Amino acid sequence: MGKLKDEDGKLLKPLTLQKTKYLPALENKVWENPHSPESEIDIEIKRIFKREKIDIKIIKRESDNDTKFELFQRLNTGGSKLSDQEVRNCMLLMQNKNAYFWLKDLSTNPEFSITVPISDKQSEECYDQELATRFFIQRHSDDQIRKEHSDVAPYLNAELNRLFNEKSDFNYDHEKEIFLATFKIANSALGDDAFKKFNHNKGKYEGALSLPVYEAMSVALSKLIETKKFDEATLIELFKDKTKELTQTQEFLTSQEKRVRPLDRMVQMSAIGQAILK
First to last CA, the chain: 56
As a whole number, the mean pLDDT across the chain is 89
Closest to 140 (Cα-Cα) out of 226, 209, 75, 82: 226
Query: What pLDDT score does 169 carry?
Result: 93
Burial class (CB in 10 A: 0-12, 13-18, 19+), 26: middle
The three-state secondary structure class of 197 is strand
Burial class (CB in 10 A: 0-12, 13-18, 19+), 18: exposed
Query: What pLDDT score does 61 carry?
Result: 65
Spans of all domains in the chain = 1-54, 65-276
Query: What pLDDT score does 88 carry?
Result: 87
How high is the mean pLDDT in each 10-residue block of the chain (278 residues)?
Answer: 89 90 89 88 89 80 66 64 85 88 96 96 93 96 90 91 90 97 97 95 93 95 95 96 92 84 88 91
E strand intervals along the chain? 197-199, 204-206
Cα distances (angstroms) measured from residue 156 to each of 121, 199, 204, 245, 252: 21, 30, 32, 28, 22
Among left, alpha and beta (phi > 0; psi -120 to 50; other), residue 218 is: alpha
E strand intervals along 71-203? 197-199
CA distance 106 to 10: 29
